[in-house]
Amino acid sequence: MAPNNANVAARGVSYFTPAQNPPAGTATSPQPNGRPVPTIFKPLRIRGVTFQNRIWLSPLCQYSAQDGAMTPWHLAHLGGILTRGPGLTMVEATAVTSNGRITPEDSGIWSQHQLLPLKQVVDFAHSQSQKIGIQLAHAGRKASTVAPWIDGDATASKEIGGWPDDVWGPSAIPFEDSYPKPKELTREAIKVLVNEFAEAAKRAIEVGFDVIEIHNAHGYLLHSFISPISNKRTDEYGGGFENRIRFTLEVVDAVRAVMPESMPLFLRISATDWLEESLPDEPSWRSEDTARIAPILYEHGIDLLDVSSGGNHTKQKVRGGPAYQSPFARDVMKAIGANGAYTPPSEHDGGLNPSARSERLLVTSVGAITSGITAERLLDEGFCDAIVVGRGFLKNPSLVWAWADELATYGLDNPKDDGEGIQIRLANQIRWGFKGRGKRTSDGKEDHGDNGKHDGKSTYGAKV
């Protein structure tokens, strides 16, 4: 029987692009040399969504939208990365209201006119068999500023599209003197904002996102409410721990209530304000607070805690270095009783509920994780369940591939670099240039190599 040599089209889009099955970034299992698949390349299943690996793109603000609507820049930026196989691509902080943007050029999801460009990005991701999420955000007292490459401390005036007189916060305390002084949110305005987050989530679901993340970090609105350094309220949204986390929990409850049971909900949190050294006598948000809130968030429907830090005060003293935020992720893992990276039940297990939650809160680490070996060690040593990378992907969109190559000898008793690394699937249009022409068999399978160092020759005589 002759093979079907059709270049099969991806489904769900009006244009032709080849189907990617399995998606780029999927590890071959078993590996050709019989070695085990590293944890970072093992699939992770959360509710009804399976991520082919645990190397994920962090939400990266581009400051390139027009009236909150994404432009072709966003499709080029995200498309160039997601075609190369991160397990999850997270779209940048996306404002739930117009005055919730960081700058006038931030993306938004408060209006129907913003949905089409978002859907174009989502549909392209799905045409590549990739998973894509969106981070819902409100900038709070750090709103109405300008793109960071212009001035990191400047207010966006009305003349350039800003809204310095309509900036909100838990208290009337500016982030710093050069920022707008926020208005203290009334109880009624808080209720409206909770609903705005829920409405934004509905739009994200309509567009087709696979994951929703709530932004509760980096000094933006929700973070500024949970921290006593920025929240000086005396009502039910201020004061003690339970009151300060109330707004966040109301947003989580409202968003979870409109989501399908099969759809994962994440939350990004700043584990600490980094004020223990610079303002030791001032109350602030600290790592023990994050460990305390983590199980509460799980009870309210958060599936994964994306652990970052800082951004809420100008006097923060960050202790940087390689993987410098990973100890905070490990603290959360300890607080929830995790004893290692999560291994989900097999999708082929009989009777597995596709909407079933993982048995515990999952945790990611982000920040200065610059090598595949470091990332794999963090998972193997129980710091987290997945790795989130930002600048690494900006510098090298093929980071997943690079880390697969880097892990060639990791964990071997007798390391010997055979030059092939961990074998993963590459997008069809990319991999043929490195491994030559394939040969489709009568059962529809392709005899075609995946990643690896090209030797300048090809089994099938392709010139590269």
In this predicted structure, the answer to whether residue 456 has a pLDDT above a threshold of 90 is no
Q: Is residue 373 located within the same domain as residue 459?
A: no
Q: Is residue 296 located within the same domain as residue 437?
A: no
Cα 133 from Cα 177, distance rounded (Å): 35
Q: What is the CA radius of gyration of the chain?
A: 23
Q: Is residue 330 located within the same domain as residue 445?
A: no
* Token couple for 38: 């590293």
Torsion sign over Cα 222, 226, 230, 233: positive
Q: Is residue 14 located within the same domain as residue 45?
A: no
pLDDT of residue 453: 46
Cα 232 from Cα 173, distance rounded (Å): 9
pLDDT of residue 34: 83
- Tell me the backbone φ, ψ of residue 42, rounded to 5 degrees: -85, 140
pLDDT of residue 415: 56
Cα 29 from Cα 150, distance rounded (Å): 47
Q: Is residue 16 located within the same domain as residue 74?
A: no
CATH number of the domain residue 129 falls in: 3.20.20.70
Q: Is residue 396 located within the same domain as residue 420?
A: no
Q: Is residue 33 part of a domain?
A: no
Burial of 49 per CB tally in 10 Å (0-12, 13-18, 19+): middle
pLDDT of residue 408: 85
Q: Is residue 14 part of a domain?
A: yes
**Among 406, 431, 448, which residue terminates a domain?**
406
State the total domains in the chain. Answer: 2
Q: Is residue 137 part of a domain?
A: yes
Q: Is residue 267 located within the same domain as residue 323?
A: yes
pLDDT of residue 434: 87
Q: Is residue 388 located within the same domain as residue 439?
A: no
pLDDT tens, position by position, 210-258? 999 999 999 999 999 999 999 999 999 999 999 999 999 999 999 999 9
Looking only at the bridges linking them, the beta strands covering 446-447 and 168-169 are unpaired
Element (H, E) at 56: strand 55-57
Q: Is residue 232 located within the same domain as residue 270?
A: yes
pLDDT bracket for residue 2 (50, 70, 90): low
pLDDT tens, position by position, 337-366? 998 898 887 654 444 576 788 999 999 999
Q: Is residue 399 located within the same domain as residue 428?
A: no
Q: Is residue 366 located within the same domain as residue 453?
A: no
Cα 342 from Cα 347, distance rounded (Å): 15
In this predicted structure, the answer to whether residue 1 has a pLDDT above a threshold of 60 is yes
Buried b (16+ CB within 10 A) or exposed e, 335-363: bbebeebbebeeeeeeeeeeeeebebbbb
Angle at 74 between CA 56 and CA 143, to 5 degrees: 90
Q: Is residue 34 part of a domain?
A: no
Q: Is residue 330 part of a domain?
A: yes
The range of the structural domain enclosing residue 463 comes to: 1-28+415-464
Q: Is residue 398 located within the same domain as residue 438?
A: no
Task: Report, as an integer, the average pLDDT of 267-286.
Answer: 98
- Tell me the backbone φ, ψ of residue 457, rounded to 5 degrees: -120, 175
Crossing angle of helices 115-127 and 72-82, in 10° steps, is 20
Q: Is residue 1 part of a domain?
A: yes
Query: H/E/C letters for each residue in 241-305?
Result: HHHHCHHHHHHHHHHHHHCCCCCCEEEEEECCCCCCCCCCCCCCCCHHHHHHHHHHHHHCCCCEE
pLDDT tens, position by position, 389-420? 999 999 999 999 999 999 987 766 555 555 56
pTM for the model stands at: 0.94
